[in-house]
Amino acid sequence: MSRPTPVPALSLVALTAALLTGGCGSPADSATSSTASSSTTGTSSFPITIERSGGIAGFADKVVVAKDGSATVTTKSGTGTCTVTPGILTALARTAAAGVTRSTTAASPGADAMVVTLTTPDGTFGLVEGDLPGTAPEVGALLEDLAKPKAQRTTCR
C-alpha cells in the first residue's frame, strides 16, 4: 500500500531542484550581484551558518561565513577554509538583513529528505519553508561548489 506524499516532502523536492540548478547562472549574474555588496553587508548579520543534512547521499555539511567572506567548512570529508565570492557574500548578507527573526523547523519530511538551514544571530531559517526567497540559488551554488576539490571551486576559494 502506498502512502500519500506529504506536502513538506514536495517542498523538499522543489528545494533540491533549486539547489542543484543554483550554480547554472552565467558569470555575469555573479558580477551584477557583487556590485551591491557595500550597501547590504550588515555587521549584526554575521556570522552566517549554512547547514545541509540528509538526502540520499547523506549530506552533513556546515559552512560558517564571517563578515569578511572567510568561511570555515565542515563536511563528512573533513574541515577546511575558503573565502566566498563577493556575489555570494552579498546574497547571504541581503538574506540576513531581511530581518526574519522567527525560528523554523522542517517537519519530519522523510528518511531521504535534504534539509538546509541558514542561521544568523537573529534566528534559524529553513530554506524549504520559503523564508528566504531568492537565496536558494546562491546557497545551492555554494554547497555544490564545496563538494569540488578546492582548485576547481568558483564560489569559495
**What are the pLDDT digits (tens) for 94-150?**
877 664 444 445 445 566 778 888 888 888 877 764 555 566 788 888 999 998 888
* 52/34: higher pLDDT: 52
Whether residue 137 has a cis bond before it, omega within 30° of 0: no
The helix or strand, by DSSP H or E, that contains position 82, with its residue range, turns out to be strand 78-83
Averaged confidence pLDDT in the chain? 70
- Alpha-carbon span 88 to 112, nearest angstrom: 28
Range with lowest mean pLDDT among 44-58, 74-88, 97-111, 127-141: 97-111
- Alpha-carbon span 135 to 55, nearest angstrom: 20
pTM above threshold 0.85: no
- For residues 155 and 142, the answer to whether their CB atoms sit within 8 Å is yes
pLDDT at 93: 84
- For residues 118 and 100, the answer to whether their CB atoms sit within 8 Å is no
pLDDT at 98: 66
Mean of pLDDT values over 45-70: 92
pLDDT beyond 60 at 15 = no
